[in-house]
């Protein structure tokens, strides 16, 4: 039986976990890469008759993760697949503070997980599948903060802005190929996750936007992780996926 292959990072909580849950289907094969595998996800995969594999990897060690992915992909039989999709969803928010007060280790981790790892994983994915004849997609989960600056979150904003621009470069490269991958850097909207809680509880003296995030929650403007996942997967399934290389789920909704 042929299947649709999905590779997803950051599947342990929030929208990433919701995406993983919604991808569990009999015609799918799913590889999740997270720091902590979820036993409940394994149980749900059994119920849905979905082939699921979970890797416990720290994506700040991006070279190791990319090497593991390359070896794994090279072990697959592409004749058993209908399509292959990489979803770079993982990201971390460092301590909310001005750059001058930020710890080097936190800045390094945010940039490695949020930008370096997606680039290296994408390189492994596209290199290992270059000879495959099936449709291939890369979906990079971006943020409005990659397109709008925010004080006290320089590393997160920079990682997301870098993700947008590396996706633009990638689209140019893949467009030159006979079976190039379709790529998109997609902002998923404002989601009710742990990150939002961190932003709301930050010290307003060092985080000028704190009140705005409190207001988003108070006025019910946050999307649930499940609904955000549904919108993201609907965008991924669009027949014109990839035509808008940098996009927002709220565009042309």
Marked catalytic residue, from 125, 156, 235, 241: 156
Is 239 in the active site?
no
Helix axes 117-128, 154-175, angle to 10 degrees: 20
Distance from C-alpha of 155 to C-alpha of 176, rounded to nearest angstrom: 32
Distance from C-alpha of 154 to C-alpha of 78, rounded to nearest angstrom: 41
Distance from first CA to last CA of the chain, Å, rounded? Answer: 34
Q: Tokens 């590396």, residue?
A: 166
Q: Length of the chain in residues, anyone? A: 253
What separation in angstroms does the CA of 75 have from each of 80, 102, 123, 129, 208?
Answer: 12, 42, 17, 11, 50
DSSP string, 49-72: T-EEEEEE--TTSHHHHHHHHHHH
Active site residues: 156
């Amino acid at each position: 039986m042929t299947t649709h292959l999905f590779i997803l990072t950051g599947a342990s909580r929030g929208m990433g976990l919701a995406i993983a849950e919604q991808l569990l289907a009999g015609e799918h094969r799913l590889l999740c890469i997270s720091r902590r595998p979820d036993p409940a996800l394994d149980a749900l995969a059994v119920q849905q008759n979905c082939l699921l594999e979970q890797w416990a990897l720290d994506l700040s060690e991006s070279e190791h993760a990319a090497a593991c992915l390359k070896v794994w992909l090279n072990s697959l039989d592409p004749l058993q697949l209908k399509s292959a999709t990489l979803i770079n969803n993982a990201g971390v928010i460092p301590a909310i503070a001005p750059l001058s007060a930020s710890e080097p280790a936190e800045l390094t981790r945010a940039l490695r997980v949020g930008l370096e790892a997606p680039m290296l994983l994408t390189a492994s994915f596209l290199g290992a599948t270059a000879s495959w004849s099936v449709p291939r997609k890369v979906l990079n989960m971006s943020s409005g903060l990659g397109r709008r600056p925010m004080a006290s979150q320089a590393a997160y904003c920079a990682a997301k802005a870098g993700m947008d621009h590396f996706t633009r470069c990638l689209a140019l490269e893949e467009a030159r190929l006979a079976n190039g991958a379709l790529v998109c850097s997609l902002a998923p909207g404002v989601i009710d996750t742990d990150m939002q809680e961190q932003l709301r509880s930050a010290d307003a003296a060092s985080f000028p936007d704190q009140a705005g995030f409190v207001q988003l929650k108070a006025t019910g403007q946050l999307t649930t992780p499940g609904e955000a996942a549904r919108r993201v997967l609907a965008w991924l399934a669009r027949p014109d996926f990839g035509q808008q290389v940098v996009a927002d789920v709220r565009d042309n909704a």
